């Protein structure tokens, strides 16, 4: 069942890829919108790739009217999959209304949360509304490492939140960001995720951007540590095959961006103020949902990737990996 095959033949194999790997060129709309609904967060995590934290909401975050207009546009365009992240998405005052709108229009929605607002009532509500999954960040298998990383956070509370999700019957995903002080717990963390009933476990390389720039000296892993980290994940992938999907990106940022230059993903990153980024790991903005429609932004998304400044940034990154520190100084294409 090959893409773009013509004639009557159905073919025998359906090509498979992922939203992040699906090229955007031939698609009429994105397959995935990753929306950072607010920059506000109850925690002040050391490794946060955004510049989120308490009191860090952008002054120009989208109004309620704008938020629901964007959601309406996304669902009118049949974007099949959305995620709400932040900051902490559950502190957005209209969070549940947004969830209700997306799910009510049959959109598949994932919530990416730190797990601190997952009370039994909220979990039951998420279940009732029909979210596809809730991804909880559990960057540690112990209270000591988790609380060290997630400043103002509490391991037990996050754990309780995940248990509440399970009790409510909400599909669970666990996310794990490695640092020099929690990487050794990865094996136990994967086991814990399985024990908590997660169906997916995600990890990858922690990025030098956002809040992590200031704390990098306390976080950074050596390549040797990463080797061990990924070795354990490979082992766990096999161990949990068929029970829990262990998914991780070993690819370095530069490699990923070089690939993306020629194969932009069918994914839009929406910031709390409606700016749309090409990809999280680049500073480039290709549209503004306060001024343009989602359809207009998508129509020029491919072209924006071809802007010479994008390739130049990636080339410069090869010489100076520290350039990721400037990802939040947006460059308008």
Partner 1 sequence: MAGFLAIIAAGDPPMKLAKYVKFREEKFGSVLFETRSEKVYTLNPTATAVVRELQAGRDERDIPGRLKERFRDDSGAIEREVVAFFAELREKGLVED
Residues near partner 1, by CB under 8 A: 1-22, 26-29, 31, 78, 80-81, 108, 110, 132-133, 171, 199-200, 245, 266
CB 285 within 8 Å of CB 333: yes
Residue 22 Cβ vs partner 1, minimum distance, rounded to whole Å: 5
The residue (of 5 and 167) whose beta carbon lies closer to partner 1 is 5
- What is the enclosing helix (H) or strand (E) of 283? none
Q: Which residues of 46-60 are buried (b: 16+ CB within 10 A; e: fewer)?
A: bbbbbbbbeebbbee
Residue 76 Cβ vs partner 1, minimum distance, rounded to whole Å: 12
The residue (of 51 and 112) whose beta carbon lies closer to partner 1 is 112
Tracing tokens 């607010």 back to the chain, one arrives at 38
Number of Cβ within 10 Å of residue 303's Cβ equals 10
Residue 245 Cβ vs partner 1, minimum distance, rounded to whole Å: 7
Residue 265 Cβ vs partner 1, minimum distance, rounded to whole Å: 10
Tell me the C-alpha distance between 326 and 323, whole Å.
6
The residue (of 10 and 224) whose beta carbon lies closer to partner 1 is 10
Residue 72 Cβ vs partner 1, minimum distance, rounded to whole Å: 17
The residue (of 15 and 93) whose beta carbon lies closer to partner 1 is 15
Phi and psi (nearest 5°) for 93? -60, -25
The residue (of 54 and 80) whose beta carbon lies closer to partner 1 is 80
The residue (of 55 and 238) whose beta carbon lies closer to partner 1 is 238
Tell me the C-alpha distance between 12 and 8, whole Å.
13
3-class SS of residue 27: coil
The residue (of 18 and 222) whose beta carbon lies closer to partner 1 is 18
The residue (of 15 and 238) whose beta carbon lies closer to partner 1 is 15
Residue 298 Cβ vs partner 1, minimum distance, rounded to whole Å: 13
Cα–Cα separations (whole angstroms), residue 111 to 30, 211, 333: 18, 21, 29
CB 104 within 8 Å of CB 149: no
Residue 237 Cβ vs partner 1, minimum distance, rounded to whole Å: 14
3-class SS of residue 108: strand
Question: Rg for the chain (alpha carbons), in Å?
Answer: 20
CB 111 within 8 Å of CB 130: no
DSSP lists the bridge partners of residue 276 as: 270, 287
Residue 214 Cβ vs partner 1, minimum distance, rounded to whole Å: 32
Structural tokens at position 240: 């949990």
């Amino acid at each position: 069942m090959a893409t773009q095959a013509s004639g009557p033949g159905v073919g025998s194999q359906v090509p498979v890829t992922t939203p992040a790997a699906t090229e955007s060129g031939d698609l009429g709309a994105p397959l995935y919108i990753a929306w950072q609904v607010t920059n506000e967060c109850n925690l002040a995590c050391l490794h946060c790739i955004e510049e989120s934290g308490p009191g860090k909401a952008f002054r120009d975050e989208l109004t309620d009217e704008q938020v629901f207009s964007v959601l309406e546009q996304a669902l009118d365009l049949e974007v099949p999959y959305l995620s709400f992240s932040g900051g902490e998405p559950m502190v957005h005052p209209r969070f549940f209304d947004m969830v209700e709108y997306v799910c009510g229009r049959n959109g598949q929605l994932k919530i990416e949360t730190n797990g601190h607002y997952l009370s039994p009532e909220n979990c039951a509500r998420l279940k009732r509304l029909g979210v596809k999954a809730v991804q909880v960040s559990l960057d540690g298998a112990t209270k000591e490492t988790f609380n060290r990383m997630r400043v103002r956070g509490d391991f037990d509370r996050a754990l309780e939140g995940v248990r509440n999700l399970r009790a409510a019957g909400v599909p669970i995903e666990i996310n794990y960001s490695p640092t020099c002080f929690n990487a050794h717990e990865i094996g136990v963390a994967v086991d814990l995720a399985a024990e908590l009933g997660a169906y997916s476990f995600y990890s990858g390389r922690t990025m030098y951007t956002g809040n992590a720039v200031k704390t990098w000296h306390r976080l950074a892993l050596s390549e040797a540590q990463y080797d061990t980290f990924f070795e354990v994940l490979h082992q766990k992938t096999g161990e949990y095959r068929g029970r829990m999907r262990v998914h991780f990106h070993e690819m370095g940022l530069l490699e990923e961006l070089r690939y993306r230059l020629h194969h932009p993903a069918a994914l839009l990153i929406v910031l709390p103020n409606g700016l749309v980024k090409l990809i999280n790991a680049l500073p480039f903005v290709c549209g503004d949902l306060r001024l343009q429609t989602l359809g207009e932004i998508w129509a020029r998304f491919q072209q924006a990737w071809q802007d010479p400044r994008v390739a130049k940034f990636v080339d410069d990154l090869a010489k100076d990996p520290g350039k990721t520190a400037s990802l939040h100084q947006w460059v308008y294409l």
